[in-house]
Chain A
Amino acid sequence: MALSHVATTSRSQLLKPLTIISSSLRHPISTDTTPITVETSVPFTGHKCEPPSRTVETNPQELLTFFKDMALMRRMEIAADSLYKAKLIRGFCHLYDGQEAVAVGMEAALTKKDCIITAYRDHCIFLGRGGTLLESFAELMGRKDGCSRGKGGSMHFYKKEGGFYGGHGIVGAQVPLGCGLAFAQKYSKDENVTFALYGDGAANQGQLFEALNMAALWDLPAILVCENNHYGMGTAEWRAAKSPAYYKRGDYVPGLKVDGMDALAVKQACKFAKEHALKNGPIVNFSPVDTLETTLVELLEMDTYRYHGHSMSDPGSTYRTRDEISGVRQERDPIERIRKLILAHDLATEKELKDIEKEFRKDVDEAIAAAKESPMPDPSELFTNIYVKDCGLEVYGVDRKEVKTMLP
């Protein structure tokens, strides 16, 4: 494909997963790992468990990585907004800006062997799991180079190598899948965990409680994370849920309420949850836990906020005031918090951070340009990946003339 106008170095940057971009900028602080202790914005609230400490250990490299990752995610989402308005992205587009701290903090606590599964607001988590900008934009625009070959769209980003299982359109349906991932982890005894994300709207789904029951019953290494942005599409949480204390909804399952706009708090909570889920070590004999007191499952509630509406077709201002949105942006913005931390600890100058953001703006623009160059999928792709090793039959398109192919 014609990418000649894109310089090779930046093209290789586009294809590199997120964390490598940070080291390639060669900032002197980015390898500094001297520990810094920071207090989270608010203490954790625990339900049936002892919450972790407010004091988080971090280091300059991590803080800078957080900043960069979140800035890139923010840039990507804003760019997706413009692309949607330019009608290059069609259908549904659910943007994650405002909630970046959850994605970034979770990544910091996990490895690529752990699994993450989420709903349709998945662009940034995909990036965190190792997805590239080109794959994202190409998929959003329905091009061949997308992560799902253009056949999934905004709601179906997956990255098998990165342990990212999607990307699901039906609210709440990903939670039983997440418990299935955890089941497989337990079955293969591989000491990894699954984070199943869902929203405050999905928290009222029955299948969530069914899955929670099974996960708790069989001690599956599953952590259910409610990304509570307080609005289920247009319905505020207090209008949809009798008990908006989502972290308590697990009843016998320990829960933790976390400030989802503070990446360090998220990281601390996820580390805590992962340790809790693996506490019993390698599972030798399987027997359902017969006491109510101990369960390995955790329920995390991330108190977060989305600046955009539910999706691109929702202005986001009919059910909440603009003051509220700008208030959160001023007080609790995740990127600003990390920026202030970096400046307060003298880890970089304001100008350096601005330069990083400019650099990312350029990267995103280049990725979009490359994605626009990427061709649409071949018509034969209509019939691929329906079955694995499709049964060897010949199929026709509608009029028997245009498309004629052998299913592979």
Chain B
Amino acid sequence: MAAIFQGIGTTASLSTSNSFDSKRFQFPSRRSYLSERKGNLFVMRSEGRIIGGSKGRGTSPLVTSAVASKAESSSTSTASKPGHELLLFEALREGLEEEMIRDPTVCVMGEDVGHYGGSYKVTKGLAEKYGDLRVLDTPIAENSFTGMAIGAAMTGLRPVVEGMNMGFLLLAFNQISNNCGMLHYTSGGQFKIPVVIRGPGGVGRQLGAEHSQRLESYFQSIPGIQMVACSTPYNAKGLMKAAIRSENPVILFEHVLLYNLKERIPDEEYVLSLEEAEMVRPGEHVTILTYSRMRYHVMQAAKTLVNKGYDPEVIDIRSLKPFDLYTIGNSVKKTHRVLIVEECMRTGGIGASLTAAINENFHDYLDAPIVCLSSQDVPTPYAGTLEEWTVVQPAQIVTAVEQLCR
């Protein structure tokens, strides 16, 4: 519940505060993300780090305009050159490889990442190029190889840990929570843990209950970690690079069903900000907040909604911890209605935290209660029809918007 208030922990105040001053909120121009912002109240401001130039490699422009460019839609991509087309897992690999070339301390470890090439082909070809030590095939021991990565990070390496499926990382929960998240704090700042933990999660195609887990809800309370979820090849590559460069432990949530998405991404190097949300479709009537695979269900519903005369604003929140309340707040101020569509379970999910955060901060701007559509609180069944009913479908999103905008 306290995901947005970094460091306050479980005692985030639930009292409605009137100290929020709407005048201080300005709708930023895109470029302004680059400038240092003085925080106002509890606004989530990214630092706008000029990451490209910080290591003295020459100034590659930080492309921050995070408008999605899907292959079918007309190009709103920021690339001045045509760019190149690739699939999401290739984008992840590209980001990873660029970082491995740039920094020799970046290494990968996980099950079958080396010789096998990764169970979702994200690390394909890397072991041949960089050797078995840098792209390390681990035994099936999530708890200890995650612990190993954290120990290596304490000395200065930057490991990227791949969980073959996010659900397996439950076995490493102790290491992620106690060592990864807390060591920087309990050592009084002596050690930093620049580790990236990534892997596919989410409900796939009839993979069964144990292989369809959404771990973002379990990890969100851990202090000291950042969580991001990628949804397009463009943001997958950008977030992967940002996560590797970050000094904090970052958990990058990918989705099993999104690996084969194709998109044209820029040729030049770009790094996205870990704390920013992405404006997918600007609108006026309702703010729809979503992330990962549900973004596509929402966009599908958006087509229907547009035909029916609604103008939804769709934001891919991307940053699951901390929430980008700046972008979200601006949107709420504009539309006054919020619908959250997520794949997490209803109980204790990302949506639940987001609902609380928006209610606390932007209560005065809401014309209607926040509606949160989440997956059912059930283990994901195997049968296809049942599985469909576990997650939110576009039709339900349309209905929810219609009810919200009545």
- Interface residues in chain A, defined as those with a beta carbon under 8 Å from any beta carbon in chain B: 115, 117, 146-153, 156, 158-160, 165-170, 173, 175-181, 183-187, 206-207, 210-211, 213-214, 217-218, 286-288, 382-400, 406-407
Contact = CB atoms under 8 A, between A and B. Distances in A.
B132 A151 contact: no
Interface of B: 5-8, 11-13, 15, 17, 19, 36-37, 39-47, 105, 107, 131-134, 136, 138-139, 141, 143-157, 174-175, 178-179, 183-192, 194, 223-224, 226, 247-248, 275, 322
Contacts of A173: 147, 174-175, 178-179
B13 A399 contact: yes
B38 to A, nearest CB: 8
Contacts of A115: 155
A175 B150 CA distance: 11
Contact of B151 (A176, A210, A390): A176
Nearest to B156: A184
A380 B18 CA distance: 23
B244 to A, nearest CB: 14
A156 B186 contact: yes
Contacts of B174: 170, 173
B192 A390 contact: no
Nearest to A406: B39
Contact of A286 (B15, B42, B132, B157): B132
A407 B39 CA distance: 10
Contacts, number: 209
Question: By DSSP majority rule, is chain A's interface helix, strand, loop, or mixed?
Answer: loop
Contacts of B155: 115, 180-181, 184-185
Given A160-B190, A166-B187, A385-B188, A391 B153 contact: no
B248 A388 contact: yes
A182 to B, nearest CB: 8
A214 B148 contact: yes
B150 A180 contact: yes
Given A117-B151, A184-B155, A383-B8, 9 more contacts: A148-B187, A151-B188, A166-B187, A179-B148, A187-B105, A386-B184, A394-B42, A396-B5, A398-B12
A243 B142 CA distance: 26
Contacts of A390: 6-7
Contacts of B149: 180
Contacts of B143: 176, 206-207, 210
B7 A392 contact: no
A287 B133 CA distance: 8
A184 B152 contact: yes
Contacts of A167: 186-187
A165 B157 CA distance: 15
A158 B191 contact: yes
A17 to B, nearest CB: 16
A7 B186 CA distance: 32
A396 B147 contact: no
Given A211-B144, A211-B147, A286 B133 contact: yes
Contact of B42 (A211, A218, A386, A393): A393
Contacts of A175: 144, 147
B48 to A, nearest CB: 9
Contacts of B19: 400
A183 B7 contact: no
Contacts of B188: 146-152, 158, 385
Nearest to B247: A388
Residue among A159, A286, A390, A398 with max Cβ neighbours from chain B (10 Å): A398
A183 B179 contact: no
A77 to B, nearest CB: 21
Given A151-B185, A391-B45, A180 B147 contact: yes
27 contacts: A146-B188, A148-B186, A148-B188, A151-B186, A151-B188, A158-B188, A167-B186, A179-B144, A183-B157, A184-B151, A185-B155, A187-B152, A187-B157, A211-B141, A211-B144, A214-B139, A383-B8, A386-B223, A388-B248, A391-B6, A391-B322, A392-B39, A393-B44, A395-B5, A395-B6, A396-B8, A396-B13
A158 B8 contact: no
A394 B39 contact: yes
Contact of A179 (B151, B153, B224): B151
A186 B39 contact: no
A207 B8 contact: no
A113 to B, nearest CB: 11
Contacts of A179: 144, 147-148, 151
Contact of A396 (B42, B47, B132): B42
Contacts of A152: 186-188
B147 A386 contact: no
Residue among A158, A187, A407 with max Cβ neighbours from chain B (10 Å): A187
Given A180-B147, A187-B157, A393-B45, A213 B7 contact: no
Contact of B47 (A383, A386, A389, A399): A389
A207 B145 CA distance: 9
Contacts of A210: 139, 141, 143-145
Given A391-B275, A393-B322, A398 B8 contact: yes
A170 B147 CA distance: 12
Leading 7 A-B pairs by shortest Cβ distance: A180-B151, A176-B147, A177-B151, A210-B141, A149-B188, A148-B188, A383-B7
B17 A213 contact: no
A169 B178 contact: yes
Contacts of A395: 5-8, 42
B154 A181 contact: yes
Contacts of A288: 132
Nearest to A159: B190
Given A158-B191, A392-B37, A186 B43 contact: no
B52 to A, nearest CB: 17
Contacts of B146: 176
B187 A407 contact: no
A385 to B, nearest CB: 4
Contacts of A214: 138-139, 141, 144-145, 148
Nearest to A387: B248
Contacts of A177: 147-148, 150-151, 154, 175, 179
B276 to A, nearest CB: 11
